[in-house]
Amino acid sequence: MVNLNIQAKQFNFNGVDVLSDKQLGEHYKIYTNYVNKTNETMNALSTQADLGMPDHTYSKIRGLKVGEAYAFDAVKLHEYYFGNLNKQNSKCEGKIMDMINKEYGNYSTFEKRFKDVAQSVHGWAVLSYDKTLQKLHICGLDAHDKGVIVDSSPIMVVDVYEHAYFMDYGTDRASYINNVMMNVDWKVANDRLSKVVSAEVSFV
């Protein structure tokens, strides 16, 4: 077994005008800590041959696997979120707009539902493509590792943990959600959707 290492990605936040540099910078630090903890748990699992007696209530391997899932999901979700923050392509159009119209009737109806989900969960609002149903689906995650729908791929992600907005918006989550939705890069979302649909494989 060998050491594993994932690297923190760099993001250009110049196209974001609804969050301060301070807010984004502190949020990025949280992301890098998740990268470090992912590496720590993965390396412990990869390099330690004997992790003691397994047990589903408490054991070393249980703690590592639970921590690994939590940290690695956090890394991926933050990368999706940071990656789709940009006001330059804030008009929803193209393939994703066609699918939104098909599922929700129009963009306004979709946006209201997405914002309602974002207001109703502790962690993340995620527009995903479900490979089983072959359609868009809005997921609400109470934690990085709670609420993920199996066999679906994130297309557009919004972080609604307080650490994502508290420095700029205090407790006004609604204003944060409204504003960040105006800084979604729908070109990025369309690119993600195209890749997922073109490589579509589901075993369900």
Per-residue pLDDT of the chain (204 residues; tens, 9 = 90+): 556 689 999 999 999 999 999 999 999 999 999 999 999 999 999 888 888 888 999 898 999 999 999 999 999 999 999 999 999 888 999 999 999 999 999 999 999 999 999 999 999 999 999 999 999 999 999 999 888 888 899 999 999 999 999 999 999 999 999 999 999 999 999 999 999 998 766 655
Instruction: Determine the Cα–Cα distance for residues 134 and 138; give it in Å rounded to an integer.
Output: 13
Sequence-separated (6 or more) residues with CB below 8 Å from residue 44: 64
Instruction: Determine the Cα–Cα distance for residues 91 and 73; give it in Å rounded to an integer.
Output: 28
Helix (H, G, I), strand (E, B) or coil at 126: strand
Alpha-carbon torsion (164, 168, 173, 175), positive or negative: negative
b/e burial code for range 29-62 (CB count within 10 A of at least 16 → b)? eebeebbebbbebbebbeeeeeeeeeeeeeebbe
Instruction: Determine the Cα–Cα distance for residues 197 and 132; give it in Å rounded to an integer.
Output: 11
177 CB-contact burial (10 Å; exposed 0-12 / middle 13-18 / buried 19+) = buried
**What secondary structure letter does DSSP report for 131?**
T
Kindly give the interhelix angle for 186-198 and 95-104, rounded to the nearest 10 degrees. Answer: 80
b/e burial code for range 64-80 (CB count within 10 A of at least 16 → b)? beebbbbbbbbbbbbbb
Residue with tokens 């940071």: 82
State the pLDDT at residue 47.
82
pTM: 0.93
